[in-house]
Amino acid sequence: MDPLKPSRTLNRSIQGLDPDRRRRALLLALAGLPTLGWASSPVSYPRVTPRALVFPRDHGAHPDYRIEWWYLTSWLDAPDGPLGLQVTFFRTRTSIDPANPSRFAAHQLIIAHAAIADPARGALLKDERVARAGLGLAGASELDTDVRLDRWNFRRDPGGSYRSEIRARSFDLRLTARPTQPILLQGEDGLSRKGPRLEQASHYYSAPQLAVQARLSLEGRVLDATGRAWLDHEWSSTLLDPGAAGWDWVGMNLDDGTALTAFRIRAQGGGAPIHAYASLRESGALRPKTFAPGAVAFEPLTRWTSPRTGADYPVAQRIRIGDRVFETEPLLEDQELDSRASSGTLYWEGASLLREGGRVVGRGYLELTGYGAPLRL
């Protein structure tokens, strides 16, 4: 048996990628291999079980779990018109034996995506990074939100505001997102079910209605903008049913201060969703009103096919939640993120208006995964 055959096969498979994407793909693939000279042992990942979330500790990282993300989306009111903004940091625990003492063993990976949706361009400005945790390059604090990757970072300050600095290839970003409402615990006090089995769940909370101040450096111009943002923090080890294709999700800040969350987990081959959920929390309320799967429905209104990947996305949707009916409208249709060389995912992440009864009532983001191929985290 040729011990280097997997590496040679991998090398051939990524030759068509540009150098940066090739490097990221190699790092992700090699992270799943044992360090040379060290016997690998099976890695045990904890299951999500009901428990009270404790802050600020649960703002920080949970490195025993397989995957975790801090996910900020925002609408910005810039001088030349609205912009969409997405900043996401992922932490993933690899299958390398945790007893392996090598400083070069990639026990944890930090991955980051950033994107700006500008209607004047008709497509996203985007960048991504990936690095193993440690060696002074990347890491995630367990004490509070503080994730860093080279010159990218996302952190929570002692006053509770989130701050991020991104130095991307085509833009620089500095932002502050200040809470105006309490933390929103999703699901059952922060335990969010994603399927029929108990382990198909995550710990999940949101910070909606964040007041944002941002400075963008873009093509020699400096833009100051304000807006509203939504933060999701979620961690799990077994998120999706094996028969799941992916999910449709919205996080919307309504103009009256209400926070709307809704998602469905789609089955491969179509048919009834594997699971669905929604919550509505009015301004001033501490707890949301939640809706069972049968009270939540997504219906495509407008589809867009990517000219790059061929994935076909329902970029505008009608969402029924109880007796209320909402419709989303994308800021622009081409908001696809091809991140197969970093997080391994292909998805549509779109700044969208929210309408009810034909009237704009809010703004936020619609996320669509698993439309190019079934999602595998």
pLDDT in tens, the chain (377 residues): 333 333 333 333 333 445 555 455 444 444 444 444 444 557 889 999 999 999 999 999 999 999 999 999 999 999 889 999 999 999 999 888 676 767 667 889 999 999 999 999 888 999 999 999 987 889 999 999 999 999 999 999 999 999 999 999 999 999 999 999 999 999 999 999 999 888 899 999 999 999 999 999 988 889 999 999 999 999 999 878 888 999 999 999 999 999 999 999 999 988 889 999 999 999 999 899 999 999 999 999 999 999 999 999 999 999 999 999 999 999 999 999 887 766 667 899 999 999 999 999 999 999 999 998 777 76
Q: Sign of dihedral through CA atoms 174, 331, 370, 7?
A: negative
Give the number of other Cβ atoms within 10 Å of residue 13's Cβ: 11
Angle between helices 5-13 and 19-31 (to 10 degrees): 150
Q: Which two tokens stand for residue 214?
A: 């941002």
Write down how long the chain is: 377
DSSP 312-363: EEEEEEEEEETTEEEEEEES-S--EEEETTTTSEEEEEEEEEEEETTEEEEE
pLDDT digits (tens, 9 = 90+) for 229-239: 999 999 999 87
User: What does R_g of the chain's alpha carbons equal in angstroms?
Assistant: 20
Question: Which value, to the nearest 10 degrees, does the dihedral of the CA atoms of residues 181, 183, 184, 188 take?
Answer: -150
Q: Would you put residue 365 in left (φ > 0), alpha (ψ -120 to 50) or beta?
A: beta
Cβ-proximal residues to 258 (8 Å cutoff; 6+ apart), any chain: 280, 281, 282, 283, 362
76 by Cβ neighbours in 10 Å (0-12 / 13-18 / 19+) ranks as buried
Prediction pTM value = 0.88
Q: Are 50 and 188 in contact (CB under 8 A)?
A: yes
**Mind listing the domains of the chain with CATH numbers?**
1-31 (no CATH), 54-369 (2.40.370.10)
Q: How many helices (H) and strands (E) does the chain have?
A: 2, 23
Q: Which two tokens stand for residue 79?
A: 């001088």
Buried b (16+ CB within 10 A) or exposed e, 21-54: beebbbbbbbbeeebeeeeeeeeeeeebeeeebe
